[in-house]
Chains A and B, each alone.
Chain A
Amino acid sequence: MIEQAEQQPLQKLVTGIPSFDVIAKGGLPKNRTTLVSGTAGSGKTVFAMHFIAAGIQDANENGVFITFEESPADIRQNVHGFGWDIKKWEREGKFAFVDASPEPDLETVESGSFDLSALLARVQNAVKKVNAKRVSVDSLGAVFSQFSDQATVRRELYRIAIALKQMGVTALLTAERANDYGPIARFGVEEFIADNVMVLRNVLEAENRRRTIEILKFRGTDHQKGEIPFTIVPGTGIVVIPMSAMQLRQKSSNIRISSGNPELDAMCGGGFFRDSVILISGATGTGKTLTVTQFLQGGAAAGERCLLLAFEESREQLFRNAIGWGIDFEKMENEGSLRVICDYPEVAGLEDWLVSIQKTVNEFKPKRVALDSLSALERVGTDKSFREFVIGFTSFIKHQEITGLFTSTTPNLMGGPSITEAHISTLTDSIILLRYVEMFGEMKRGITVLKMRGSIHDKEIREFTIDHAGMHLGRAFRNVTGILAGAPVHVSPSDVERIWELFDEEKRLHKPAGDDS
């Protein structure tokens, strides 16, 4: 058997758990045992059941679930919300429970040595009965608590693990641990029973829960390393959110699309790129939501479907504002060219937002997605979660060849970067700054295209005004400096002229020789 294993590479079993197979580089090692360890509430049972459910639903592989903790009746009820109809599968002969849950009213006395052959016989019987390819055991720790002779339990579990391999099934064993960081499992032996070890975590960070999965070891085969976020979605189950799988594989498009404002298009060298991500940064009231509104209208006018994710204003406010700029969101929505999702960012974690946004995008298939604003989402999670959200979201929409427009609110009225931008500026293709400019006791607005990947663009800081027809770009602030630093200084026109001349090679070269002093 060993010789055989040396000759052929280890096969993997595609689990069907969304994106898990990506981080596991193809799935769980086939015909092996894998330990899933985690604290209470880390999602072990859901993972173990999803493994079985995905086999039945997607791979035509039947499964056996061995429970040492919850009763089958409880489990059937608990997982029904994920769309897993266990009763139906049991009737169809695709699923079998091996019920080893404790019976509180039945006392059992130990007298002399024993083994768990009866359990093994039941497992073998169940596997044979439904022709199972997948087996989940939930959980090993609970076996220890049912018997006082720990040495026997240890030996017997090891024997069962070996027997599972001989049955030709791929098995998932769960185990509890006391802490998210510490010994792998409570009894210190669980990890030696299985070939492979994975850890699920549910860590409290700054009042937010963050779920991650880490593959600690896969004997003899490759996997992604480190903690990878996942979430548990009603109706689906476990959804892993792999970051490294998404990196920089996108195609790049040369097609230009309109920002909804011809003057802004001109500043950007002819419009935004089809699959680019644009960040609009500005203080409150500088015109970010207006830019978003025009962007959506531009999409609808070009016959493209648009999705607006609004986390700052209510539906009514957004629609009223749009009317104020001469844009009718309601009509766009009725025509099917616009979908608006309005919610408090706090109603879900960032991982859940990412999954639910992806779901909406897959359903609605928009060509443009606007998110107003990233800063509102930033307060929902930790820095790490937020960064992962932005990376996951930008790469997702780029893969779909969707144009994304995000807004970010700067904390200071005048100039100043925000933390949001520090996280995401490198991920965006274009950055447009909207800034207040104080001039002679008046607040004026300035706009500049800071970055435009793969295109020439206007480098000027131009004044703009907002009226009932939207945004109007005016002239550049020629005699003001220090706008972006937040401290505009007025320079007399003659000084400006002189500075420009210094840079203007042609003018200098063509001047009469005598003038050069």
Chain B
Amino acid sequence: MTGKTPRAELAIANLRRICEEDLRGQYELQIIDVLENPQLAEDDKILATPTLIKRLPPPLRRVIGDLSDKEKVLLGLEVRPDLLNADSSEPVEDP
């Protein structure tokens, strides 16, 4: 992300919810502020913010945006379908 913008806060909240609910807490999350560390964005060739990068398990996947569309996030991350809960099709509320 770039700074503490409302969109960044929203993306983090959305991601934490997805991780807790759908990945049952089996995750490790690192948050990087590009404004403080632009070289990391350079190394990973990041253009958009917020960008979510899934490093493990392979393959490497990226999702950009505020992560408000949970289905797309799960699809983009290519996490195993058996980890999905039955209620994943419900729309996520916009705060």
A residues lining the B interface (CB < 8 Å): 98-101, 103, 106-122, 124-126, 146-147
Instruction: Give CA–CA (A124, B60) in the complex, Å.
Output: 27
Question: Are B47 and A119 closer than 8 Å at their CB atoms?
Answer: yes
Closest 8 pairs (CB-CB, A-B): A109-B76, A125-B38, A112-B65, A117-B2, A112-B68, A112-B66, A111-B72, A119-B47
B residues lining the A interface (CB < 8 Å): 2-3, 5, 7, 11, 14, 34-35, 38-39, 41-42, 45-51, 60-70, 72-73, 75-76
Question: Are A122 and B11 closer than 8 Å at their CB atoms?
Answer: no
B3 — which chain A residues lie within 8 A by C-beta?
117
Instruction: Give CA–CA (A107, B51) in the complex, Å.
Output: 12
Contact of B2 among A108, A109, A111, A121 (CB under 8 A): A121
Question: Are B67 and A118 closer than 8 Å at their CB atoms?
Answer: no
Q: Smallest Cβ distance from A333 to chain B, in angstroms? A: 57
A-B contact pairs, 28 of them (CB 8 A): A98-B42, A100-B45, A103-B45, A106-B60, A108-B63, A108-B76, A109-B61, A109-B73, A110-B65, A111-B64, A111-B67, A111-B70, A112-B69, A113-B7, A113-B66, A113-B68, A114-B51, A115-B2, A115-B7, A116-B49, A117-B3, A118-B2, A118-B49, A119-B47, A121-B38, A121-B41, A122-B42, A122-B46
Question: Are B76 and A111 closer than 8 Å at their CB atoms?
Answer: yes
Known: A108-B64, A111-B64, A118-B2. 8 other contacts (CB 8 A): A101-B45, A103-B45, A106-B60, A111-B68, A111-B70, A114-B64, A115-B7, A121-B35
Question: Are A118 and B34 closer than 8 Å at their CB atoms?
Answer: yes
Instruction: Give CA–CA (A121, B45) in the complex, Å.
Output: 12
Answer whether A118 and B41 are a contact pair too, CB < 8 Å, given A108-B64, A109-B64, A112-B65: yes
A99 — which chain B residues lie within 8 A by C-beta?
42, 45
Q: Smallest Cβ distance from A151 to chain B, in angstroms? A: 13
Question: Are B41 and A122 closer than 8 Å at their CB atoms?
Answer: yes
A106 — which chain B residues lie within 8 A by C-beta?
60-62
Q: Smallest Cβ distance from B72 to chain A, in angstroms? A: 4
Question: Are B72 and A118 closer than 8 Å at their CB atoms?
Answer: no
Question: Are A112 and B11 closer than 8 Å at their CB atoms?
Answer: yes
Q: Smallest Cβ distance from A457 to chain B, in angstroms? A: 72
Instruction: Give CA–CA (A117, B67) in the complex, Å.
Output: 16
Q: Smallest Cβ distance from B37 to chain A, in angstroms? A: 9
Question: Are A112 and B67 closer than 8 Å at their CB atoms?
Answer: yes
Instruction: Give CA–CA (A106, B64) in the complex, Å.
Output: 13
Question: Are B66 and A118 closer than 8 Å at their CB atoms?
Answer: no
Instruction: Give CA–CA (A265, B39) in the complex, Å.
Output: 74
Question: Are B69 and A118 closer than 8 Å at their CB atoms?
Answer: no
Question: Are A116 and B48 closer than 8 Å at their CB atoms?
Answer: yes
Could you say which of A109, A113, A122, A124 has the most chain B C-beta atoms within 10 Å of its C-beta? Answer: A109
Question: Are A100 and B42 closer than 8 Å at their CB atoms?
Answer: no
Instruction: Give CA–CA (A113, B51) in the complex, Å.
Output: 11
Question: Are A122 and B62 closer than 8 Å at their CB atoms?
Answer: no
Question: Are B39 and A125 closer than 8 Å at their CB atoms?
Answer: yes
Q: Smallest Cβ distance from A149 to chain B, in angstroms? A: 8
Instruction: Give CA–CA (A106, B51) in the complex, Å.
Output: 13
Q: Smallest Cβ distance from A105 to chain B, in angstroms? A: 9
Question: Are A114 and B66 closer than 8 Å at their CB atoms?
Answer: yes
Could you say which of A100, A108, A118 has the most chain B C-beta atoms within 10 Å of its C-beta? Answer: A118
Instruction: Give CA–CA (A108, B70) in the complex, Å.
Output: 15
Question: Are B65 and A100 closer than 8 Å at their CB atoms?
Answer: no
B66 — which chain A residues lie within 8 A by C-beta?
111-114
Question: Are A114 and B48 closer than 8 Å at their CB atoms?
Answer: yes
Question: Are A111 and B73 closer than 8 Å at their CB atoms?
Answer: yes
A109 — which chain B residues lie within 8 A by C-beta?
61-64, 72-73, 75-76
Question: Are A124 and B38 closer than 8 Å at their CB atoms?
Answer: yes
Q: Smallest Cβ distance from B50 to chain A, in angstroms? A: 7
Contact of B38 among A108, A114, A122 (CB under 8 A): A122
Q: Smallest Cβ distance from B4 to chain A, in angstroms? A: 12
Question: Are A116 and B47 closer than 8 Å at their CB atoms?
Answer: yes
Question: Are A114 and B73 closer than 8 Å at their CB atoms?
Answer: no
Whose C-beta in chain B lies nearest to the C-beta of A109?
A: B76
A116 — which chain B residues lie within 8 A by C-beta?
47-49
A125 — which chain B residues lie within 8 A by C-beta?
38-39, 42
B62 — which chain A residues lie within 8 A by C-beta?
106-109
Q: Smallest Cβ distance from A75 to chain B, in angstroms? A: 15
Q: Smallest Cβ distance from A450 to chain B, in angstroms? A: 67
A100 — which chain B residues lie within 8 A by C-beta?
45, 47
A112 — which chain B residues lie within 8 A by C-beta?
11, 14, 65-69
Answer whether A110 and B60 are a contact pair too, CB < 8 Å, given A99-B45, A147-B48: no
